[in-house]
Amino acid sequence: MCTDAPALVEAIRSLAVRGAPLLGIAGAYGVALAAARGFDVEDAAEALAAARPTAVNLTVGVRRARAAYRAELERSGDREQAERAALAAARALHREDAEASTRMAAHGLALLDELLPGGGHRILTHCNTGSLVSGGRGTAFAVALAAHRKGRLRRLWVDETRPLLQGARLTAYEAARSGMAYTLLTDNAAGSLFAAGEVDAVLVGADRIAADGSVANKVGTYPLAVLARYHHVPFVVVAPVTTVDPDTPDGASIEVEQRAGHEVTEIMAPQAPVAGAETGGGIVVAPLGTQAYNPAFDVTPPGLVTAIVTEEGVVSPVTADALTVLCDRSRQVTI
Ligand SMILES: CSC[C@H]1O[C@H](OP(=O)(O)O)[C@H](O)[C@@H]1O
């Protein structure tokens, strides 16, 4: 339970709180929390927004609550009323995300039925995109859940998602709890599933979608897009409009978060690493001193994306014109 803004910043950095839409909601509540606890709201907003650089929703949520706080403070000069305005903005964002999740699930299921008319979808997903990252039932996982509830999901292939295992730890949990047929696999086993013709479509989330349609998502997403293209399998990104960032022109402009090497050189235990410790607290699987490359995300070019599903509908193909419409919509719903 985060009782103050610095604790929430650390929870976001350590991925105790994670997942693009939820980061936006948490960021907004963090601004309201800072105001209520007497922290400097501007400083807290900056720290929260900087906690993880790739997920644009974090910035969106922080800006939404900060704008509400500033506007009310200017209007009434009353800090308590300004705190309430920031909290109201956070609650509104929470509700909007829950509604967006429901609408994305409906649009995504309709797209799957159009792309895969035979039903019995075998869906591969990466990382975790369910209710643990959302005010509702999530993004990509919400589509798989909708298919399951309509009896049209034959199997959910769950990438374990190294190094932090969001798939093995979280998506498998959500799939089991929902009663859907699912199978966990190592990330490097996905290729053989495609080769065996066992994947009908790929469904993933996003952390930032650039104005040209490039998609930043958990590392390991780009190889799935290449495999999907090679094997003529639809590759579908599911994300709220607020994840589209008009101010990031292309994939090369997306800052990809680089994380600590110990997340790779150790099999991480669920608890957060002890700050300042020589290791991350996990089981060391590489010689001490091993350097590790640990980007948290990778970027998929628009040409490999079959469709982007938002709460506003489906964009396919992913063209500059189509993204212009999404960017305009994003500007309307963000500050
Ligand atoms: C659709 S939000 C989930 C999104 O966020 C994950 O990243 P992280 O676990 O580092 O927060 C991953 O990229 C998912 O696709």
Rounded Cα gap, residues 55 and 18, in angstroms: 10
Of 186, 182, 258, the C-alpha closest to 223 is 186
Rounded Cα gap, residues 168 and 154, in angstroms: 19
* CB-CB contact of 128 with 19 (8 Å): yes
Within 6 A (CB) of ligand 1 lie: 15, 18-21, 127, 129, 133, 139, 166, 204-205, 207, 217-218, 296
Q: What is the pLDDT along the chain (335 residues), one digit of tens a residue?
A: 455 778 999 999 999 999 999 999 999 999 999 999 999 999 999 999 999 999 999 999 999 999 999 999 999 999 999 999 999 999 999 999 999 999 999 999 999 999 999 888 999 999 999 999 999 999 999 999 999 999 999 999 999 999 999 999 999 999 999 999 999 999 999 999 999 999 999 999 999 999 999 999 999 999 999 999 999 999 999 999 999 999 999 999 999 999 999 999 998 765 555 666 666 677 889 998 999 999 999 999 999 999 999 999 999 999 989 999 999 999 998 87
**Distance (Å) from CA 102 to ligand 1 centroid:** 18
Complex confidence, ipTM: 0.96
The residue type at 137: R
Rounded Cα gap, residues 101 and 294, in angstroms: 30
Q: Whose CA is closest to atom 1 on ligand 1? A: 205
pTM over 0.90: yes
DSSP 8-state assignment for residue 155: E
Burial of 271 (0-12, 13-18, 19+ CB in 10 A): exposed
**Distance (Å) from CA 128 to ligand 1 centroid:** 6
Residue with tokens 């930032």: 208
DSSP string of 239-281, one letter each residue: --GGGEETT--SGGGSPPPB--THHHHEE--SSPPPTT-SS-S
